[in-house]
Amino acid sequence: MEPVDVAANLARVRARIAAAAQRAGRDARRVTLIAVAKTKPAAMIDAAIAAGATCIGENYVQEARAVKPLVAGRAAWHLIGHLQRNKARLALTLFDVIQTLDSTALASALDRLGAERGAPVPALVEVNLGGEASKRGVAPEKLAGFVEELAALAHVRVEGLMAIPPPAGDESEARAHFRRLRQLRDQLGLRELSMGMTDDFEIAVEEGATIVRVGRAIFGART
């Protein structure tokens, strides 16, 4: 297997983001790229940071705990997988942003921990757009009430929405999912919109994503 050229891959992804933003009449600088490591070694993460990646994503707290101490470069770390409440304290020692806030119990735990450290916890609310049993997230019809509950927490800062939409049969279906999430975000008056991965991040950018989560196109297939 040929070695992965992380820097070249990152440059290609950035160029594709820029082109998608231009097609949509958007400023590409408004789109944050999360380089999703997912079990990749520290050397590859460092290569991405050296090439200009400013944000690293991990799915699991335990994976970040294993690799982050070995990473020399500095970046913001985003948790993009489900967070169990009993791992919230550990997560806040590893991650700068929790993208998968999906319950009042977890929100309350993060609020208590934020109070302990004297700083709010930046978070995105995960939305289950398709009502899929296999996915976490808040149902769209319950979203407004959930975000209103979170507004009462002094140490959780909800910055936007995140979703992994249902599998799309074609581009128009993917766009419909992304537009729905954007509409929900706009209705709530939030800023960030985390949507789009390796197979569809260009469509997501065209539909308003402010954060895209790209792993395979940067680091190669997960092993």
pLDDT in tens, 23-33: 999 999 999 99
187 vs 51, 144, 181, CA distance in Å? 37, 9, 10
CB atoms within 10 A of CB 154: 10
Question: How much is the pLDDT for 38?
Answer: 87
**6-215 belongs to which homologous superfamily?**
Alanine racemase (3.20.20.10)
pTM score: 0.95
Q: Which helix (H) or strand (E) holds 117?
A: helix 104-117
Please report, for the chain, the start and end positions of each structural domain, with discontinuous segments joined by +: 6-215
Give CA–CA dist 194/81, Å, rounded: 13
Task: Report the Cα–Cα distance between both ends of the chain, in Å, rounded.
Answer: 12
CB atoms within 10 A of CB 169: 8
Find out whether 145 and 139 touch, Cβ atoms under 8 Å: no
> Given a cut of 70, is residue 51 above it in pLDDT?
yes
Of 85-99, 146-160, 209-223, the range with the lowest mean pLDDT is 209-223
pLDDT band for position 75 (50/70/90)? very high
The gap from C-alpha 93 to its chain's centroid, in whole angstroms, comes to 18
Q: Quick one: what percent of the chain has pLDDT higher than 90?
A: 88
Question: How much is the pLDDT for 1?
Answer: 59
Taking residues 177-205, report their average pLDDT.
Answer: 96
> Given a cut of 80, is residue 134 above it in pLDDT?
no
CB atoms within 10 A of CB 60: 18
- Cα-flanking dihedrals φ and ψ of residue 67, to 5°? -100, -30
Give the tens place of pLDDT for each residue, 109-124.
999 999 999 999 999 9
> Given a cut of 70, is residue 223 above it in pLDDT?
no
Q: What is the DSSP letter of 210?
A: S
Q: What is the DSSP letter of 87?
A: G
Residues 6+ apart with CB under 8 A from 114: 92, 120, 121, 154, 155, 156
